[in-house]
Amino acid sequence: MADTITIIDDRTGKKVTVPITGGTFPSSALRELDPSLFMYDPAYQSTASCASAITYLDGDAGVLRYRGYPIEQLAEKSTFLEVAYLLLKGELPTAEQYAQWTWDVTHHTYVHENMRKRFVDGFHYDAHPMGMFVSATAALGTFYDDAKDIFDKSSFDKQVMRLVAKVPTIAAMCQRFSQGLPFVLPNNSLSYSENFLNMMFRVGDDYKIDPVLSRAMDVLFILHADHEQNCGTTTMRVVSSAQTDPYTATAAAAAALYGPLHGGANEAVVRMLTEIGSIDNVPGFIEEIKNGSDLLWGFGHRVYKNFDPRATIIKKTAYEVFDVTGRNPLLDVALKLEEVALNDDYFRSRRLYPNVDFYSGLIYQALGFSVDVFTVLFAIPRTVGWLAHMQELLGDREQKLSRPRQLYVGVEERNFVPIADRK
């Protein structure tokens, strides 16, 4: 059977046959039939907007791979900085490349003093850390006069390295500001995750980083590093297509991530579990969800329809963390919620399963993070994925300025009515 599709315009009888490649066909075929014809696809549910070699995802099989490597292997055997290198450069680093990359990132963790003293200090005392993170990331770009040199490879690589190095510092500044705590300067002798935990939690000299917890942080960073064309990454690509600098584009992607339907779900899950309070309330809560009271936060995914492989790894990591920190009391509510939902026809028939955000919040909470900083913890590693996609887009000769069409459903032409004559 030929790997082609034939589209017939029944109005004119014209037809066009185009190849099917990797499950897609070029929508430009429609323009061959009629230049004024466009596909109407709200929320891009049936549209592949780019060709990408970064992340492979099979939603039905629950498969996720970065540059061909299964997420399970990376989470078990790799480090976040190694995965960041893999996503950005396409291959795992050699020992020498890894040492250089780690040194570079580790020695670019400081931000300009004005970022903290003038910019972050200017926020209202109860500003949401994610709102601060979005603004601070965009602001960071204004400190570098080469930020806009995106077609100079060495300059672009430098901005990438700066962003990867500095987003944990920005995140920690936002959290510490919210808590009224003094900022902890980066410590270049620590690993990426250890340094982040240190900046977040050190008060005085007595903060000891537990290796199980810093490894858990690293695993969470690995799991969140990329996820192909989700809402945030698509935003990154759309904004980057206008040749915006990587700091502002990252801020735009982070703004998309902020929303509760996307990365903000981890925060919503813990708020939901707290509201449910006890396993006795779970059946009643599920009934309310089925009656449309709210969403079951942390459940459902646009692409995964059987299980989210990241959720499976996160659940295992949660138990490792709880062995050190003590069991999060909300875990029992989460487990019961999962059990009831997975056995309920409403969720089964809609193929709704726990996603990455269902258990991550419980770990973050056990690690000591406040609920409103959870999405920032997602944005730190996802910055790597966003930048990998920006880099790929800039080198893709098929890409242009993103500019979808629309189906106009407004009123037809009419004449202006002077204000005195309006009813």
- Residues of span 363-382 touching ligand ACO by CB under 6 A: none
Question: Active site includes 107?
Answer: no
Choices 193-201, 317-325, 349-357, 364-372 (CB under 6 A): range interacting with ligand ACO: 349-357
Respond yes or no: is residue 357 known to be catalytic. yes
User: Cβ–Cβ contacts within 10 Å for residue 423, how many?
Assistant: 3
CB of 369 to ligand ACO, least distance (A): 17
Contact window for ligand ACO (CB under 6 A) among 64-72, 177-185, 353-361, 388-396? 353-361
In the numeric block, which tokens belong to residue 422? 């309006």
Letter for the amino acid at 382?
R
Q: Which of 163, 236, 352, 388 binds ligand ACO (CB under 6 A)?
A: 352
Counting residues that bind ligand ACO (by CB under 6 A) gives 19
| 8 A C-beta contact, residue 176 and residue 117 | no
Q: Are 214 and 200 in contact (CB under 8 A)?
A: no
- Please give the Cα distance from 417 to 413 (Å, whole number): 13
Q: Which residue has the tokens 């880099």?
A: 391
Catalytic residue among 218, 245, 308, 357: 357
Phi, psi for 110 (deg, rounded to 5)? -75, 150
* Joined tokens for residue 104: 């570079």
Q: Is 299 in the site for ligand ACO (CB under 6 A)?
A: yes
Choice from 251, 265, 318, 337 touching ligand ACO (CB under 6 A)? 265
Q: Contact with ligand ACO (CB under 6 A): which of 289, 337, 384, 393?
A: 289
Query: What are the strands of the beta sheet with 55-58, ordered from one edge?
Result: 55-58, 63-66, 69-70
Q: Write the interaction track for ligand ACO spanning residues 227-246; mark x where CB under 6 A is met and - where it is not.
A: ---x----------------
Q: For this structure, is 301 an active site residue?
A: yes
In this structure, is the dihedral angle defined by the CA atoms of residues 215, 217, 218 and 223, taken in order, positive or negative? positive
Candidates 141, 300, 361, 385; binder of ligand ACO (CB under 6 A) is 300
Q: How far is 421 from 423, CA to CA, in rounded Å?
A: 7
Give catalytic residues, as residue numbers: 262, 301, 357
Q: What is the binding site for ligand ACO (CB under 6 A)? A: 230, 261-263, 265, 289, 295-302, 350, 352, 355-357
